[in-house]
Structure 1
Amino acid sequence: MLIFLVVIFGMFYFVMIRPQRKRQKEQQTMMAALQKGDKVITAGGIYGTIDTLSEDTIIIKVEGGTTLRVARGSVAVRRDDIKK
């Protein structure tokens, strides 16, 4: 019975926990690599180009010259990283 529980926990770890940690690490690496001029998509679906970076906020330019201040953590992906 104990072996069965260990096997179930091991499967749970490799199916659920490990991939989530990998995604978190990739997200942190992407956040640290952001720089001015990067094209990004926010978690809210806004497409823009980074104009200014600070510790916890980013100013992005969107179409029409509008600038938006967003939380650094709201950047979901860099558009350059999207595989076609």
Structure 2
Amino acid sequence: MEMLISLSPIILMFVIFYFLLIRPQQKRQKKVKEMQADLQKGDSVVTIGGFHGVVHAIDENTVIIQAGDGSKLTYDRSAIREVVQN
């Protein structure tokens, strides 16, 4: 019983960390993965590096993004940060 009482602050701290840090991060990661899986040709996107463009073609692991001047760049799907609504 004394051991449980002495460990309770550590257990409480773990529970607080889980609900304040770990769980929200897992939700964000899940949302980003879903967004990257739902990419479609014609979507306006922003990459992690800040490049803005339109999805020209999609492969299993790569995305070809067309810039405003017509140039096309190939990125990994994981490099897409967000889909921008026009």
TM-score, scaled to structure 2: 0.89
- Give, as a single letter, the amino acid of the residue that structure 1 aligns with 2:57: T
Does residue 1:16 correspond to 2:58, yes or no? no
Identity of aligned residues (%): 40
Query: 1 CA distance for matches of 2:31 and 2:77?
Result: 15
- Give, as a single letter, the amino acid of the residue that structure 2 aligns with 1:53: I
Q: Runs of 4 or more off by more than 2 Å in structure 1?
A: none
RMSD: 0.7
Runs (5+) with no aligned partner, structure 2 = 1-5
Quote the offset at 1:77 in angstroms: 0.4
Give aligned pairs, total: 80
Which of 75, 80, 85 aligns to 1:75? It is 80
Runs (5+) with no aligned partner, structure 1 = none
TM-score, scaled to structure 1: 0.91
Secondary structure at the counterpart of residue 69 of structure 2: helix
